[in-house]
Amino acid sequence: MKLYIAPVSPYARMARIVVIEKGLEDRVEIIPAQTRVENSPYYRINPSGRVPYLVRDDGVGLEESSLICACLDHLDGKPLFELPAGEAGWEARRLEALARSLMDGLAVWLRETMRPPGENSPTVMRHEANRRDRLYVLWEKEIGHPLMQGPLNMGQITLACALGFEVRIPGLDSASRPPKLAAWFDTIAARPSFVATAPPPHQSH
C-alpha cells in the first residue's frame, strides 16, 4: 500500500502513527506528496490534492484520516483502535470529535498565516486563537476522562496530533497550555510513534 503524506500535516500524522503503532512499516510505503502548489504531479494520483491518501494494493484510493486509520487498523485483522461497546463508545466518539474540532481550527489558523503578506486576515486568526483558548479550558477538564488516560485510542491520537501541530503556527506559545493538558501531551509525545512523526517546527524568516 502507499500512504501519501505531508510532513507537517496533523491529519497525515495520525495515519503515520497508526502505521507505526500497528507495526505495518513493511506493508505501507510512506510517500511525501507535493500539496498546495499549482500543477503538482500529486493531483494525478489524488485529484483533491489532500493528504493523507491511502492507495490500497488493489489500486483503490481512500481519503479522510479517520477512514484511512480504520482501514490500516483492520489490515491485520486485529484492530487496536475499535470503538468500545455501549456508552463508552459514544464517549469515545464525543472526545474524538472534540479533538478534531481543535485540529480543524488550528489548521485554518496555520493556513491563514501562510498566505502571502497582506492577504492574511487578522480577524480569522483572532477567531481561531479564541477558539483554541476556549477549547483548552474544556480540554483541561476532559483530559482526566478515563478514555484519555487509558490505552491509546483514536481520540488520544487526534488530540496529540492537534497539540503537536501548534509548533507550526508562528508566534503561538505552547507554554500557554493549561497544566494538566501540557503534562498529558508531554507523556504521549514521548511515545516512539509520536517522536518518529513529529512535525518540523516553524522557522521565521
Contacts with ligand GSH by CB under 6 A lie at: 6, 9, 11, 35-36, 49-52, 64-65, 107
CA distance linking residue 205 with residue 72, whole number of Å: 38
CA proximity to 105, closest of 124, 77, 79: 124
Nearer to ligand GSH, 4 or 184 (CB): 4
Phi, psi of 200 (to 5 degrees): -65, 140
In the complex, least distance from residue 135 CB atom to ligand GSH, rounded to whole angstroms: 17
Nearer to ligand GSH, 31 or 182 (CB): 31
In the complex, least distance from residue 65 CB atom to ligand GSH, rounded to whole angstroms: 4
Nearer to ligand GSH, 34 or 140 (CB): 34
Nearer to ligand GSH, 64 or 82 (CB): 64
In the complex, least distance from residue 16 CB atom to ligand GSH, rounded to whole angstroms: 12
In the complex, least distance from residue 174 CB atom to ligand GSH, rounded to whole angstroms: 19
Nearer to ligand GSH, 26 or 42 (CB): 42
In the complex, least distance from residue 66 CB atom to ligand GSH, rounded to whole angstroms: 6
